Amino acid sequence: MRWKILLTFCCLSWCLALRAEPRELQISVGDWPPYLSSELRHNGVIAHIISDLFAEEGYRVSFRFLPWPRAYSATAAGKFDATGVWMHKGEREADFLFSAPLLDEQFVFFHLKSQPFDWHRFDDLAGMTLGGGLEYSYGPTFDAFLAKGTVKMERVSSDQQNFDKLLKERVVLYPQEMNVGYAALARHFTPAERARITHHPRPLLVNRSYLMLPKRLAGSQALLQRFNQRLQAFRDSGRYDRYFQDLQAGKYTLSEEEAAQR
């Protein structure tokens, strides 16, 4: 009789385990379309990758959109399971574990088609006026070039302001991550305005970004290992690249009906 009771208990436990909801992970992010945005399908392509990666490991992801400084500090304090996406900086290692590279960013110079532009070295930009983001780093090499003062950078708080200044010829160049720049143009400007702007194909910076997991949480190391292994599997199978093919095909843009429901 005992073995029958034990067998019944084991079967019930097994069935309940199968029906159990996957554990939810809380991840803080900043708004950075087309990679991360509450106004895009799947919250953007990077959010989609993160969700699917963890889903393959048995987790459900909930994203919390916050100002970037708050996303950083709250996650460092252990209030979130992870935060994304961030460039690597040595000082961040005190609080976080870094995943394998999740995104390769390509920063380019946007300019007007009516003002042909070419460059090979940063010194080729001498005397030009550039747009830029407030307190924004364009990598140590270009930041050092800016510090020399051979070009002027007028910094404002948004892509929209920078592209508006470019259209009005108040700046000659605007350095920005390529997909981020074109997402801002699509969001804020008319087709006629967008048609006036292009970018130089030579990148001024190729930067890698990472998911960061807080050292304060005991499970971060094990979770990081599972994430990295699954990310490599996505890359090896070609699945990772398909997300970005969908991005280029416009599949992350919400329809008018979907946007109205949000």
- Element holding 122 (H helix, E strand): none
Q: For the chain, what is the mean pLDDT?
A: 89
Q: Is the pLDDT of residue 17 over 50?
A: no
pLDDT tens sequence across 168-200 = 999 999 999 999 999 999 989 999 999 999 999
Q: What is the pLDDT of residue 3?
A: 47
Burial zone of 46 (CB within 10 Å; 0-12 exposed, 13-18 middle, 19+ buried): buried
d(CA 54, CA 20): 16
Q: Is the pLDDT of residue 115 over 90?
A: yes
pLDDT tens sequence across 124-139 = 999 999 999 887 778 8
Pairing of strands 96-98, 205-214: antiparallel
How many whole angstroms from its chain centre is CA 90? 19
Query: Within 13 Å, how many C-alpha atoms sit on residue 161's CB side?
Result: 10
Burial zone of 40 (CB within 10 Å; 0-12 exposed, 13-18 middle, 19+ buried): buried
Q: What is the pLDDT of residue 15?
A: 47
Query: pTM for this one?
Result: 0.77
